[in-house]
Chain A
């Protein structure tokens, strides 16, 4: 599954060493000329080859004999499409052979011409691998049928807080501050959203309060790491503990004392855009969301444009790459960092509100459940690029969703292994595929004048 690292992520990557990523034109900081800069390693081709062999053995040779059925339309769709039914064993063989061919091509390129594979290759590989995997899982299940539309819609839903969290990471780290505190920002946002929405009987007030709470958590990170030059990773780790303790304490003392008054936020309504939401598969994910869901799409696009197309973004990236240079050009390095970190916190806070205003309508301890760390991983997989992070987060949402689905349809794969998947993928990716990816050069390094 490590191929997911190079999922259809626009922007530069090992998959995108060329002059520009599809959605990240010129000013991306990660791109380098293909052959002169970074070494062409065996890592990617070998990883692909290993995965292809794994796919061939498990999805192919040991694949289930039955067929897998994927529902495409759901009941309320504008128009109906028939379900797709595929023979599991045959498609397993076919798909894994394609994977073997792709991996072979990558190996040949490296061996013969010392070149890395073209950018599309890892992306295509990932997609095929995931499809093969899905067919294998579903085909081997007790009830070999799932709703593809439901799977994808569920993935997006589960990805929402992860996307917000990873955007927070992008905003902070592009400015040169490592943000391990995403978990705390999500949790703080979730708690405050629940509390304020309950008190005001207005979930939108809760949403706003979540942003403020996330920003406050972030300001502590900014204060300690920028003003007091405390190691950023340490502040982040400790902040997570602090927020966890604080929300846990207030939950037990305040919320538990009068649940109706303090912990009944009510839900944000789902805004259904007529007609468009009836489009199969993509309708629900794009046009049938809560305001938080719509905000997610807006945030991804706005932050991407902001970072790569505007004066603000140029300065932020300069501060994250080479603060001294920015300083000599009259840019206030630490102020830029401070406000960027604060903004990041606000974004993560909004993501946190998803837990208590959209997913469930109350707060419980540790409701963010480690998604802040997954968001961190998504940011890295997405190479510090908002769009990349979005797709990586989507992938984790997918894995998360698949986990609950396989528990229901009953596959031979234990659900715990499904739950493990995002973490394993991240380790693979960090070690195998993005091991040499370039974070902003000054990421994590405090700037002290003089």
Chain B
């Protein structure tokens, strides 16, 4: 997708764009939602032409801050200064007019509109009578596409475009509006390692064209690779600034607020008989596409198999097929030689499958139901909670008390609505429900997505405990760090196909290439040659990307792989 960047040419002919640079200051920004303080007197200065990183955990208040900056929220206190002058943004329109653009974590693109329509929206050029003039927009898209080597068809429908291209459309949207400061909110969350490298390159190009970038992330490698300045935010407060040369452990402990030991104390696996087997499994989407394409694997008792891959490569459908949520499933799924394909969800759950869905608020919990009710969501009709069709509320509450204690769910009462809990506590409720019965298979999708570090440790320990209890465990995660930490074996999915299964300890770069579809063998070969080719001269050429040694204390913060070109 990305053509090699040629730093001459369009840039020289278009020097006007380099003239206006912009200094952005946030002074004492505070944002409260009721009693919750999302941002507490935050000061940040974004110097012109810099990549400024906001580093912080999920829920630290980074996105809120950026929404304030982009005019989506009004700050409770504090002010924003553009080139030294205080400004008030009543809406995104004001922010855009001041030269601020934003690429949201969840893309703000209208799927059924074309690229040109999305880009034009809100900044339409019109002919007489209010008629749209999309030709003008197409021309602008082409201009920007050419300058940065994006390959974007202005007339393609957004929903037909891959995620990486959609992200470029978002960047084009900002650039068409003459953004001088570009906010990128967790932009790599949806990208493959390779796409991520391309994005980092684009960021450097934008910088060289004079665009400042505010880069919001919790991924230390990327932050170190691309930032000029790093501001660390924790629990809504700025806890300090750091330089990109700081070590990953240093950054990690700043971010989390204590010395972190991100590696898990985990005994080596003791795999026993392979009781869970998937054979020639194919799942066909309503569109006819083979979203899971003829894959086979098995999991032994006492082993964790992690399914890695970029989001949307068939992981969701694979887990749903096992659970019985998919309609068109071919092949065989055997649990203790018992066929699961064609069984109802209820049957599969009753067969001893524990399932933690990837989106807990959507699939795992009913927000308006009490915690107690959520804890029996898949067993409401079984003893002791029900006899016949009559339910026993006392038993339901009793069960809740036990589980809440056992899983350290922080709540005053089991009869509160589950929707009032924090993300971490919600996930504990789901886990508590799924792990509180004898299991023959445990599946957890994105077990720690959007969960605070404290809960992550707890949840990871629970998963390992289930493994050590002798249950086959399947983890699905798009976070390589999590995969590498938990897995005893790693299976990589790409476009519904199983690229390969590799042992734990396989390098990040190899996994990254596999996630882009390369077989394990060629991924190994590829990284080997790359490493050889990395001469000292090359090292200087890529000086902007500090190449880090993997720090043993922080598996979650490994260095940048070198597989980018």
Q: Which residue of B lies closest to A329 (CB)?
A: B122
B546 at the interface (CB under 8 A from A): no
- Chain B residues near A317: list those with CB within 8 A: 110, 113
Q: In the complex, what distance in Å separates the CA atom of A449 from the CA atom of B288? A: 37
Residues on B with C-beta less than 8 A from A30 are 112
> Hey, which chain A residues are within 8 Å of B93, CB to CB?
329-330
- Most chain B CB inside 10 Å of its own CB: which residue of A36, A312, A325: A325
Chain B positions near chain A (C-beta within 8 angstroms): 33, 70, 72-73, 91-94, 96, 102, 104, 108-114, 117-118, 120-124, 126, 129-132, 155, 157, 159-160, 173, 285-289
CA distance A70 to B33 in the complex (A): 71
Give every chain B residue within 8 A of A36 (Cβ-Cβ).
160, 287, 289
Among the 9-residue stretches A37-45, A229-237, A388-396, the one with 4 or more Cβ atoms under 8 Å from chain B is A37-45
A309, A311, A321, A324: the one within 8 Å of B113 (CB): A321
Q: A39-B286, A39-B288 are in contact. Are A325 and B108 (CB under 8 A)?
A: yes
Tell me whether A361 is interfacial, beta carbon within 8 Å: no
Q: How many inter-chain contacts with C-beta < 8 Å in the A-B complex?
A: 105
Against B, the Cβ 8 Å flags (1 = close, 0 = not) of A295-331 are 0000000000000011110110110011011111111
Q: How far is the CB of B549 from chain A (nearest CB, A)?
A: 40
In the assembled complex, which residues on chain A have CB atoms less than 8 Å from the CB atom of B173? Answer: 329
Which residues of the other chain, A, contact B70 by a CB distance below 8 angstroms?
328
Per-residue B-contact encoding for A434-450, CB less than 8 Å = 1, 0 else: 00001001000000011
* CB-based contact A329/B108 at 8 Å: yes
Contacts of A31 in B (CB 8 A): 112
Contact in complex: B132, A311 (CB < 8 Å) = yes
- For A330, list chain B residues within 8 Å (CB): 91-94, 96, 122
Interface residues on A, range: 35 or more
Known: A37-B159, A328-B102. A315 touches B289 (CB 8 A): no
Q: Is the CB of B287 within 8 A of A37?
A: yes
B75 to chain A, nearest CB (A): 13
Q: Tell me whether B110 and A322 are in contact (CB under 8 A).
A: yes
By a CB distance below 8 angstroms, the chain A residues around B286 are 38-39
A29 at the binding interface (Cβ < 8 Å): yes
5 A-B pairs (CB sep. < 8 Å): A33-B157, A114-B288, A318-B110, A330-B96, A450-B72
Which residue of chain A is the closest to B122 with respect to CB atoms?
A: A329
Interchain CB contact under 8 A, A309 and B72:
no
Taking A311-B130, A311-B132, A330-B92 as contacts, is the C-beta distance between A321 and B110 under 8 angstroms?
A: yes
Is A35 an interface position by the 8 A CB rule? Answer: yes
Report the separation of the CA atoms of residues A114 and B92 in the bound assembly, to the nearest whole angstrom: 46
Query: Which 3 A-B residue pairings sit nearest by Cβ, starting from the closest?
Result: A330-B93, A329-B122, A39-B286
Say yes or no: is A26 at the interface (Cβ < 8 Å to chain B): yes
Bound-state Cα–Cα, A134 to B109, Å: 48
Q: A329-B92, A329-B121 are in contact. Are A322 and B108 (CB under 8 A)?
A: yes
* A414 within 8 Å of B (CB atoms): no
CA gap between A376 and B114 in the complex, in Å: 28
In the complex, the answer to whether B288 meets A314 with C-beta atoms within 8 Å is: no
Given A33-B160, A310-B130, A314-B120 in contact, is the A449-B109 Cβ separation under 8 Å?
A: no
By a CB distance below 8 angstroms, the chain A residues around B124 are: 311, 314-315
Do B108 and A328 touch across chains, with their CB atoms under 8 A apart?
Answer: yes
Q: Does A27 contact B (CB under 8 A)?
A: yes
Residue of B nearest to A331 (CB): B122
Return chain B residues, CB-CB under 8 Å to A441: 111-112
Residues in chain B near residue A450, CB distance under 8 A = 33, 72-73
Q: In the complex, what residue of chain A is closest to B155 when comparing beta carbons?
A: A26
Known: A309-B131, A328-B104. A314 touches B160 (CB 8 A): no
Task: Digitize A26-65: 1 where CB-to-B-CB distance is under 8 Å, 0 elsewhere.
Answer: 1101111101111110000000000000000000000000
Distance, CA A37 to CA B113, complexed state (A): 14
On chain B, the residues within 8 Å of A35 by CB distance are: 287-288
For A26, the chain B residues whose CB sits under 8 A away are 114, 155
A30 CA to B157 CA, complexed, in Å? 11
Distance in Å: Cβ of A77 to nearest Cβ of chain B: 38
Question: B288 to A326, Cβ gap below 8 A?
Answer: no
Residues of B within 8 A of A328 (CB): 70, 72, 92, 102, 104, 108
